[in-house]
Structure 1
Amino acid sequence: MNTPRQPTLFLPHGGGPCFFMDWDPPDFWNHLGDRLRALPGLLPAPPRALLVVSAHWETPLPTVTSGIRPPLIYDYGGFPPHTYRLQWPAPGDPALAQRVQELLAGAGIASAADPQRGYDHGVFVPLLLAYPQAQIPTVQLSLRGSLDAAEHLAIGRALAPLRDEGVLILGSGFSYHNLRAMIGGAVPDVAGSSKRFDDWLTAAAETPDPAERERLLAGWAGAPDARACHPREEHLIPLMVAAGAAAGDAGTRCYHHLLGEVTHSGYRFG
């Protein structure tokens, strides 16, 4: 039986353990939480495995988790005690980790494996909503510390065959990530700058020609208000892996919302 090709996705993962605590207003994170819960419905079939690229792990070489039972890494601070007891015991997938390394090597990209590394909150927080039963084998892939967009597009291109093997490639980040603005700092024109960048990013992601799409995304720092929205780009770079793995498939905005004054979006390819 043929396995349907999985799309690739880039979705916001929220702020820390935001979906599992009280907020004022109480519905602040509800729209995004509902979208993450609906993630399985975006797919043509249940994935056999997940490959997640989180904004919260950077290494000199792209590195995969290769353990059988990765622990959780509660890499956030100052939240209620119960948020450090969240559980998402999804199994690892050493065979998938090896396959990722083989594909990267075939593209001339050196990589590494870490059998001890666990899932950080960019993995387990959104997937605790999307797949609460934690039954799908999951591998996390790090960002390269260079945070170079073109390098991560190339990583995505190398991993594209996984989509025909039943693997969902998920970029977990945020299309807007200026923490000073998001926590109420004195940042001018948050609404305008986030919308201008979001409009540009959506047009780039939805560019029909894949080569032109990659050219635009590789040059993201020249986009309107790019550095106002991403003083540091680690939350945007997972999008590059998802877009690179799209190959010739079209990109569409699959999520869009205002979080306070901040416009932010998610994207699907294929």
Structure 2
Amino acid sequence: MKQPVFFLSHGGGPWPWLDGPFREGFAWLEASLKALPAQLPEPPRAVLAVSGHWEEAEFTVSSAAQPGMVYDYYGFPKHTYHISYPAPGDPALAARVRALAAAAGITVGDDPARGFDHGTFSMMQPIRPQADLPVVSLSMKVGYDPAAHLALGRALAPLREEGVVIMGSGLSYHNLRMFDARAAEPSRQFDGWLRHSLLDLDPEARAAALLRWEQAPYARVTHPREDHLIPLMVAVGAAGGDPGVCIYSENDLRGGITASAYRFGEDVTPTGFDKLAA
């Protein structure tokens, strides 16, 4: 069976390993991530995670059999620099990613030393806390060309028939200098544009809209640097002609930010975690 594709929020830093108000601020996101396995048509073989925290001069895939950890955050408690998400890698899947990309004329490099960054492990911890599902990481390409990332997603679409769940990991709003109530209106308007583009347009128009994402309302306010948006392009490319559904939304993240996440596939059943549903 064909697995769906996701664009998810991974939250802030190592939040699943924290307690108190910071962790509680991601309660709705956490509930939506825990609900994700029930949305799969059958148990997956592996996850291919496109992280908003990894970019290289060329697309690159992690090929370690036992990936380590990349603590790519700062200012958190000491114990969060010793946490572990001990999921295995999948060198065979990494090789398959490179082969599919090459067949489409796209170069994908190989990194046997790359570990899990928090764009991957903070997302996967609520989804698969037992850490027994192989996870392979895929980088973005420097320059953030939407067309290039859409093309890579299209090239990797056959993985969906091979038991692989493709997950773009980022955040629909990501301006760390405005991560407070000032973001309420910009995030609301950008999120509205994103929802319309992903859910209301046909697949061809959907992709065309993403190519022009900088024309969206408050585009460069919500994404001064689009690293947390570009994983969506890979997901939409891999989605092909499949429709999408919003599987997580809220308008009170961190004091008023609107954020959302999406699933693309044949099943467009809502999940119950869309606070903004009409």
Q: TM-score, normalised by structure 1?
A: 0.94
Q: What does residue 18 of structure 1 align with?
A: 15
**Relative to structure 1, is the Cα distance of residues 98 and 122 closer, same or farther in structure 2, using a 3 angstrom cutoff?**
same
Pair 1:239-2:236 in alignment: no
Q: What does residue 177 of structure 1 align with?
A: 174
Cα shift readout 1:40-64 (whole Å, capped 9, x = no counterpart): 1121111101000000000011100
Cα distance in 1 for residues equivalent to 2:111 and 2:212:
31
What SS class does the counterpart of residue 36 from structure 1 fall into?
A: helix
Q: What does residue 219 of structure 1 align with?
A: 212
Tell me by how many angstroms 1:67 deviates: 1.0
- Structure 1: segments with no counterpart, 5+ residues: none
What SS class does the counterpart of residue 263 from structure 1 fall into?
A: strand
Cα shift readout 1:210-231 (whole Å, capped 9, x = no counterpart): 1111000111011011111000
Q: What does residue 242 of structure 2 align with?
A: 249
Pair 1:108-2:105 in alignment: yes
Cα distance in 2 for residues equivalent to 1:48 and 1:54:
19
Match of 1:266 among 237, 241, 261: 261
- Structure 2: segments with no counterpart, 5+ residues: 266-278
Pair 1:228-2:221 in alignment: yes
Cα shift readout 1:12-44 (whole Å, capped 9, x = no counterpart): 000001232234376311111111111111211
Root mean square deviation of aligned Cα: 1.3
Match of 2:33 among 26, 32, 36: 36
Q: Which amino acid aligns with 1:21?
A: L
Pair 1:79-2:76 in alignment: yes
What SS class does the counterpart of residue 185 from structure 2 fall into?
A: helix
Q: What does residue 189 of structure 2 align with?
A: 196
Q: Which amino acid aligns with 1:101?
A: R
Q: What does residue 268 of structure 2 align with?
A: none
Cα distance in 1 for residues equivalent to 2:165 and 2:258:
26
Q: What does residue 27 of structure 1 align with?
A: 24
Structure 1 contact 208–250 (Cα < 8 Å) conserved: no
Cα distance in 2 for residues equivalent to 1:138 and 1:27:
27
Pair 1:97-2:90 in alignment: no
Which aligned runs of 4 or more in structure 1 are off by greater than 6 angstroms? none
Pair 1:50-2:43 in alignment: no
Q: Which amino acid aligns with 1:190?
A: A
Cα distance in 1 for residues equivalent to 2:98 and 2:243:
26
Cα distance in 1 for residues equivalent to 2:24 and 2:75:
21
What SS class does the counterpart of residue 40 from structure 1 fall into?
A: helix
How high is the sequence identity, in percent, across the aligned residues? Answer: 53
Cα distance in 2 for residues equivalent to 1:52 and 1:8:
10
How many correspondences in the alignment? 263
What SS class does the counterpart of residue 160 from structure 2 fall into?
A: helix
Structure 2 contact 61–137 (Cα < 8 Å) conserved: yes
Structure 2 contact 15–22 (Cα < 8 Å) conserved: no
Cα distance in 1 for residues equivalent to 2:175 and 2:154:
28
Tell me by how many angstroms 1:72 deviates: 0.9
